[in-house]
Amino acid sequence: MMVIMHETATEAEVAHVVARVEEVGASAHISTGERVTVIGVIGDREQVTQLPLEAMPGVDRVVAILRPYKLVSREFQQRDTVIDVRGAKIGGGHFAIIAGPCSVETAEQVLAAARAVKAAGGKMLRGGAFKPRSSPYAFQGLGEDGLRMLAAARDDTGLPIVTEVMDPRDLDVVCEYADVLQVGARNTQNFLLLAELGKVAKPVLLKRGPATTIEELLMAAEYIVKEGNRDVILCERGIRTFETATRNTFDVSAVPVIKIASHLPVVVDPSHSAGRLDLVLPLSLAGVAAGADGVLVETHPNPEHALCDGPQSLPTAAFGEYAGRVLDLARWAGKTTV
Ligand code: PEP
Ligand code: MN
């Protein structure tokens, strides 16, 4: 439920409500709006309803959150969440291109990609060092060596790093290097991983699984936010349908549906949605037109020789033109792109 404080409520009154909520073993999540503070109360229903919340000083009213997801819902927080990654902002009108190779292969490859992304106006560098591959015989990523290469590219360009963590056992090492922790589509509902990410002080980019409903995606985000980490970026990367023309089916409606239901930023991944280079630009533009806060896109200096996802990777030589088109549309849609 939500405890909505009076406009005139003092910090001490807010602290008192929080203390009483915590006394019964529930958790309190404060959202400070422009006018009022809202306290989200998550815990055992029986115990929470016994608390005389409405009688406490500074409390205006108590409202139930009807949706199964609570803290990520617009009901709990009306204003958009803005996430600041080393000064690169996303959400609440701030648009971000996040780009780089599917996998980190060599220091030179990731540096070339990072420089192209930076030159084109991209805000963050993506690249996988721990790769979730369908085949156990396929390239699995360079692990910590790959993370070091990403960090070197960050040192060179200033771009924050987005990289995947697949296993809670790798969390410490990935956190040593990463700025944003990516949860891949195969791990959207790995609840133990999500709960661990909720305890980390770094933003999480949570991908929608190929067979995950939007509600399930929001519940997955709730697992992270419930543990205290509010900085979650959601990503539509295509879902599995009967259609075979594309690798996955890009669900463009997910963007406005999520933005209505939740305050979290949403990005689209046209690379994994389509699996086809020729669809990367049109799907990116569709995502931006639908209200996305950014794109997550693969680019490689030499896609023909990529160890993973070459056919969907934009050559870095073409990245500037692609990014120009995407940023133009984002600005036309009223977004800030710097
Ligand atoms: C990726 O972005 O590197 C990736 C593996 O994508 P997905 O988890 O969406 O398949
Ligand atoms: Mn990929």
The pTM of this model reads: 0.96
The side-by-side arrangement of strands in the sheet containing 37-42 is: 27-32, 37-42, 2-5, 59-63
- What is the dotted CATH code of the domain comprising 83-332? 3.20.20.70
pLDDT for residue 312: 97
Query: What's 312's DSSP letter?
Result: G
Contact 307, 105 (CB under 8 A): yes
Q: Which atom in ligand 1 lies closest to the alpha carbon of residue 207?
A: 9
| pLDDT class of 33 with cuts at 50, 70, 90 | confident
25 phi/psi in degrees, rounded to 5: 85, 10
The closest residue, in CA terms, to atom 4 on ligand 1 is: 184
Q: Which atom in ligand 1 lies closest to the alpha carbon of residue 103?
A: 3
Contact 21, 28 (CB under 8 A): yes
Average pLDDT taken over every residue of the chain:
97
Per-residue pLDDT tens digits for 92-147: 999 999 999 999 999 999 999 999 999 999 999 999 999 999 999 999 999 999 99
In whole angstroms, give the CA distance from residue 75 to residue 284.
Answer: 29
**Would you list the domain boundaries of the chain?**
2-63, 83-332
**Residue 230 to residues 95, 200, 233, 263: CA-CA distances in angstroms?**
19, 10, 9, 11
Q: Is 102 in the pocket of ligand 1 (CB under 6 A)?
A: yes
Structure tokens at 292: 């996305």
The closest residue, in CA terms, to atom 10 on ligand 1 is: 185
* Nearest ligand to the C-alpha atom of residue 212: 1
Q: Is 40 in the pocket of ligand 1 (CB under 6 A)?
A: no
- What is the dotted CATH code of the domain comprising 2-63? 3.30.70.1140
pLDDT for residue 45: 85
Q: Is 132 in the pocket of ligand 1 (CB under 6 A)?
A: yes
pLDDT for residue 47: 86
Report CA 250 to chain centroid distance, whole Å: 17
Report CA 338 to chain centroid distance, whole Å: 19
Structure tokens at 267: 């990005």
The closest residue, in CA terms, to atom 6 on ligand 1 is: 184
Percentage above 70 pLDDT, the chain = 100
pLDDT for residue 90: 98
24 phi/psi in degrees, rounded to 5: -90, 10
**Residue 160 to residues 64, 303, 330: CA-CA distances in angstroms?**
38, 23, 21
Residue 69: exposure state from Cβ atoms within 10 A (0-12, 13-18, ≥19): buried
Give 66 Cα–ligand 1 centroid separation in angstroms. 32
Per-residue pLDDT tens digits for 176-221: 999 999 999 999 999 999 999 999 999 999 999 999 999 999 999 9
Which residue among 237, 246, 297, 300 has the greatest number of ligand 1 atoms within 8 angstroms of its CB, and so is best to mutate?
237
Query: What's 91's DSSP letter?
Result: B
Per-residue pLDDT tens digits for 249-298: 999 999 999 999 999 999 999 999 999 999 999 999 999 999 999 999 99
Among 115, 83, 82, CA closest to 99: 115
Q: Is 247 in the pocket of ligand 1 (CB under 6 A)?
A: no
Same fold, 2-63 and 83-332: no
In whole angstroms, give the CA distance from residue 244 to residue 76.
Answer: 39
Helix axes 214-226, 254-261, angle to 10 degrees: 40
In whole angstroms, give the CA distance from residue 39 to residue 31.
Answer: 6
Structure tokens at 131: 């790769």
| pLDDT class of 34 with cuts at 50, 70, 90 | confident
Residue with tokens 């993973």: 308
| pLDDT class of 299 with cuts at 50, 70, 90 | very high
In whole angstroms, give the CA distance from residue 43 to residue 20.
Answer: 12
